[in-house]
Structure 1
Amino acid sequence: MNYDNQKLIDMLAAEYVLGTLTGSARKRFQRLMLTSTRIREATWIWEQHLNNLASSIQSEQPSDKVWQIISQRIDASKPIQSSTDSNVIKPKAHIWKAWSLIATAASIILAVIIWQPQAPVQPTQQIALFKDATEQPLWFIDIDEQNLSIKASDKLVARNDKDYQLWMILKGQDTPISLGILPKDGVKSLLKDSRFSAQDIALLAISLEPIGGSPTGLPTEVLYTTELILL
């Protein structure tokens, strides 16, 4: 399948959130979510649409007899009452109508999203992951409004005679901007630079530096680069 096709991504994301994507197809989609920003964004969009739709339906507390029937259906060892039993309660018509409304509305939303241009969605989270040549994770960065929370992986074999420095390269600019020294183990928080803006960042990079950081204000030896991921 062509997972670069946005219409296909939207259809799979909708089925995943609705729960109709099952078996190996669902597992494959979950693996794709780990590596594809577009797939994560499409899934997030559908979660928002359907959560808003579900929240518009007024909840109703089932009666004790309804709970009894549900319990009997879950536990096959319990006798299930005959349909002629006066205690059996048939589902109320308005409950089925509500579920029918949700299914119909979900289908309409799917058609609108697939066949019409989508408005930009504001990302809810910004992260970055640096890996080595063997795809081992080294540093994970979680960005909020004020700070960069950086966690060093236990796979990192750090040099004690050097420091690792984080840089950002802005679009249209050649000069990297230092964001601070990275931790060699554990977690460290760095104050976010005022110029740190997701839409302006072209690349993040890590350089190997003397203890204390770059003596020139520029990267001495660039080791790793990665892109900022928007969720």
Structure 2
Amino acid sequence: MNYNKPELLDSLAAEYVLGTLTGLARKRFQRLMLVSIRAREAANMWEQNLNNLASAISPQAPSDATWHEIIRRIENKPQREKSSPITTPSLWRTWSFIATAACIILAFLVIQPTTSVKQTQQIALVKNQIEQPLWFINVSNHELSIKASNQLIARTDRDYELWMILKGQDAPVSLGLLPKYGDKTILKNKLFNATDITLLAVSLEPVGGSPNGLPTEVLHTTELVLL
């Protein structure tokens, strides 16, 4: 796929921001944003344009038929009666976000049952290709508390490094090395601002971390969930 074509990049960025770009295609675009300024700029442009559009529209309460269809699709029940189709991507994006946040919070309670969440501001869950949780990230006022899942099979000859991609920033910013087991606390980078973070990424690095300040091999990407 030729990501140098402006039309393709713009189309992918639009789908990514709307939430209609899913699965492996979404993960590929997230990895692309790690190395492509154009991809990040395209996503930022669509996010800004859609936010401006959304703010100019008066809120409308969904009809009973719409709620019925939402619940039916979430529960994957067979359709018993004809109902109004859902045509608003932003509505589905909102529900998708809520479902994702709920799954991450549930994983948090499973992985860190003894940790208080009172000071939590944001959370993130890093998963592998088969959706197994690898690291849970709990962001509070001044630090990131990170716990490795028991499903993580870590390499002993390499380290894992956490990065953040910022809007308008040319290069990823390292947040530090991830634990291979147990817990670890990392002080917040001075550039850490949740509203400016496009995504988080995990890279595989030589022991000690990236030798040149850039990700060596990106393994996983995830999004930061604001609570």
Q: TM-score when scaled to structure 1?
A: 0.50
Deviation at 1:40, TM superposition (A): 8.5
Closer, same or farther: CA 182–8 of 1 in aligned 2, 3 Å: farther
Matches within 5 A, 1:1-231: 7-8=61-62, 28=75, 36-38=96-98, 125-231=121-227
* Aligned partner of residue 37 in structure 1, secondary structure: helix
Q: TM-score when scaled to structure 2?
A: 0.51
Structure 1: 5+ residue stretches without partners: 14-23, 42-123
Does the Cα contact within 8 Å between 2:194 and 2:224 map onto a contact in 1?
A: yes
Does the Cα contact within 8 Å between 2:138 and 2:146 map onto a contact in 1?
A: yes
Higher Cα Rg: structure 1 or 2?
Answer: 1
Tell me what 2:88 maps to. none
* Aligned partner of residue 185 in structure 1, secondary structure: coil
Q: How many Å separate the matches in 2 of 1:150 and 1:180?
A: 11
Question: Hey, which bits of structure 1, 4+ residues long, moved more than 2 A?
Answer: 4-9, 35-41
| Corresponding pairs, count | 134
Matched to 1:201, the amino acid is: I
Deviation at 1:230, TM superposition (A): 1.2
Q: How many Å separate the matches in 1 of 2:100 and 2:218?
A: 30
Matched to 1:154, the amino acid is: N
Matched to 2:170, the amino acid is: D
Deviation at 1:172, TM superposition (A): 1.7
Deviation at 1:173, TM superposition (A): 1.7
* Aligned partner of residue 195 in structure 2, secondary structure: helix
Does the Cα contact within 8 Å between 2:121 and 2:141 map onto a contact in 1?
A: no
Closer, same or farther: CA 39–166 of 1 in aligned 2, 3 Å: closer
Deviation at 1:8, TM superposition (A): 4.4
Q: How many Å separate the matches in 1 of 2:172 and 2:100?
A: 29
Closer, same or farther: CA 214–6 of 1 in aligned 2, 3 Å: farther
Deviation at 1:39, TM superposition (A): 6.2
Deviation at 1:214, TM superposition (A): 0.5
Matched to 1:215, the amino acid is: P
Matched to 1:184, the amino acid is: K
Q: How many Å separate the matches in 2 of 1:199 and 1:141?
A: 16
Closer, same or farther: CA 6–127 of 1 in aligned 2, 3 Å: farther
Structure 2: 5+ residue stretches without partners: 1-19, 21-58, 76-91, 102-119
Deviation at 1:203, TM superposition (A): 1.0
Matched to 1:202, the amino acid is: T
Does the Cα contact within 8 Å between 1:37 and 1:230 map onto a contact in 2?
A: no
Tell me what 2:34 maps to. none
Closer, same or farther: CA 173–183 of 1 in aligned 2, 3 Å: same
* Aligned partner of residue 148 in structure 1, secondary structure: strand
Does the Cα contact within 8 Å between 1:126 and 1:230 map onto a contact in 2?
A: yes
Once the two structures are superposed, residues 63-83 of structure 1 have per-residue CA deviations (whole angstroms, 9 ceiling, x without a partner) of: xxxxxxxxxxxxxxxxxxxxx
